A = this chain, B = another copy of it.
Amino acid sequence: MTEIERLLAIEEIKQVKAKYFYAFDHKDWDMWRREVWAPDGRLEVPEFREEPFTPFEEVLRYASEAAADQVSVHHGHMPIITFTSDTEAKVIWAMEDLLFRTPGHPLYDGSTWLHGWGHYHETYVKRDVGWRILSSRLTRLRVEMKKVF
């Protein structure tokens, strides 16, 4: 990669992750599938389940079920980006999320409000359609649960 190609790739990766958050918090699963993830993308959320969600249809099923009956706010910050080849990158994003759940939520456990902080550890791949997320693993620094805000 030339320096300009690297800068363009960084910017494109930031756009992909920006759409990840926007699509999730607006429950736009079509945008999530088409503009964010590789078709062979996989997701790990160890706090919730040890085994990764894969194939991608499982990622989508988990996300759309977890997002049902809740308002969510996900923010990403300060990516550390390392290219491992011209078409592969590792990225760590700091993150914060707020989930406002109802008792009808499938993961409802008596808490209606989750506030968490952590990091996404991700790999991105460049495919014909552009850069996409190939894998994402969420680790936590802290999670607060409250019955009410």
Q: Using a CB–CB distance below 8 Å, which chain A residues touch chain B?
A: 3-4, 7-8, 10-11, 14-15, 17-19, 21-22, 25, 71-73, 75-81, 92, 94, 96, 98, 100, 117, 119, 141-142, 144, 149
Partner of A94, one of B3, B75, B141: B75
A75 and B73 in contact, given A3-B4, A8-B7, A94-B21 (Cβ under 8 angstroms): no
Identical copies of this chain, number: 3
Kindly list chain B residues whose C-beta atoms are within 8 Å of the C-beta of A72. Answer: 141
Let me know if A22 and B92 touch, CB within 8 A.
Answer: yes
- The answer to whether residues A71 and B3 also contact, given A18-B79, A79-B18, A94-B22 and a CB cut-off of 8 A, is no
Chain B residues with CB under 8 Å of A76's CB are 77-78
**Pair A117/B81 contact, Cβ less than 8 Å:** no
Chain B residue at minimum C-beta to C-beta distance from A73: B117
Contact A80 B25 (CB under 8 A): no
Partner of A144, one of B21, B117, B149: B149
Residues of the B chain whose Cβ atoms lie less than 8 Å from the Cβ of A144: 149
